[in-house]
Amino acid sequence: MSNSVPLLDRWSSHPVSVLGVSGTRALIGFVGLMFYVSQYGDRGYLFGPDGVFPWKDFLAALDRDGTFSLYALSGSGSWFELVFHIGMLSALAVTFGVGGRPVLVLHWVLLWSVYQRQPLILDGGDNLAYLVIPMLVLTRCYDRLSLSPGLTARWTRRIPEGLRALQAPLHNLGVLAIATQICLVYVTSGLYKVQGKLWQDGTALFYIMRIPEFSLPGVSDLVYGNDILVFVGTYSTTFFLVYFPLGILVPRLRPWAAVASIGFHVSIGFFMGLTGFALTMVACDLIFLSRPLGESLAFATRARARIERSLREWLRRPEKDACDTTVRGAVENSG
């Protein structure tokens, strides 16, 4: 009981993983921006009122699922272009940390709207973005990696002191919610795989990498054609997914578990083409790497300062040498 009081005091007064959650915000914004940019040339065909998903079917789907989309407010092409481009700009703003929480909420609404307009091209990262962005709103995810931290700080000072006192606990609650959500994703996926026969006998990777939608020509066949790689890849995936939360709970293992998770999802993005899903998972993993990221940035800042100082000294040296030569020449002439 005596140890719980300092823990609660620290929880309510000291925000954790500020740099990590700022990286989460930036990378999730980039994933949304990448979605808009990658589909920009075909935006009318994919998302427009006269696109491949018929307008009547789109409205019926929204009514059936009990959800919404800003694209459903009007069947006009001008309205579609307006909403689509505002969505792209909001994703860009979130990536660079401009606009604060109101823009983050706007980005969530617009991202939800465009995903609902064309659900057939999604890769699963959308489901995680739906859940994580509202959790990010609770956090101080604009404190770092942001182009407008000064503006955010000025706005924050206008908030009454009583409400400002809630920032740290709300931030920590948001970070905890994201961490819990990621652990649930891993455990659920791992336990689901444990029950599958293909995962039990170590052959699941062979069949997954032979699916045309998830194959990388010239590379996937090198993997599924090797029995050892298939066996190790199948069992290591299941083992990692089930035991990832245990690694996160141990402070010394936490960075290594997060790095392993990033490597795992980078591999998924590379081999299976699920780039949006992979980057969204990587974004969430950054909350577990806040301290290593901070140390790396501090080291890079110190290294940059040393390099700049060395360059300035090196540039001054010719001037100093020329000055010394002039003084020596004047002394010799006077003699």
Q: What are the tens digits of pLDDT across the range 40-56?
A: 999 999 999 988 999 99
Nearest to 31 by CA among 85, 87, 71: 87
CA atoms of 156 and 149, how far apart (whole Å): 10
What are the C-alpha distances in Å from 67 to residues 60, 70, 84?
Answer: 11, 11, 19
pLDDT at 31: 94
Q: What are the tens digits of pLDDT across the range 134-164?
A: 999 999 999 888 886 555 556 666 666 666 6
**Residue 213 banded pLDDT, cuts 50, 70, 90:** confident
Q: What are the tens digits of pLDDT across the range 269-324?
A: 888 888 889 999 999 999 998 888 888 777 777 887 788 787 777 777 655 555 55
Length of the chain: 335
CA atoms of 189 and 238, how far apart (whole Å): 8
Q: 47 with 84: CB under 8 angstroms?
A: yes
**Residue 331 banded pLDDT, cuts 50, 70, 90:** very low
Q: 289 with 20: CB under 8 angstroms?
A: yes
Average pLDDT over residues 81-109: 94
Percentage above 90 pLDDT, the chain? 36
**Residue 80 banded pLDDT, cuts 50, 70, 90:** very high
Nearest to 9 by CA among 180, 168, 178: 168
pLDDT at 160: 65
Structure-model confidence comparison of residues 256 and 167, the more confident one: 256
pLDDT at 164: 65
**Residue 95 pLDDT greater than 80, yes or no:** yes
What are the C-alpha distances in Å from 16 to residues 124, 175, 301, 326?
Answer: 28, 8, 22, 59
Nearest to 105 by CA among 138, 127, 81: 138
Q: What is the pTM of this model?
A: 0.83
What is the per-residue burial (b if ≥16 Cβ within 10 Å, else e) of 173-194? ebbbbbbeebeebbbeebeebe
Q: 75 with 44: CB under 8 angstroms?
A: no
**Residue 74 pLDDT greater than 70, yes or no:** yes
**Residue 226 pLDDT greater than 70, yes or no:** yes
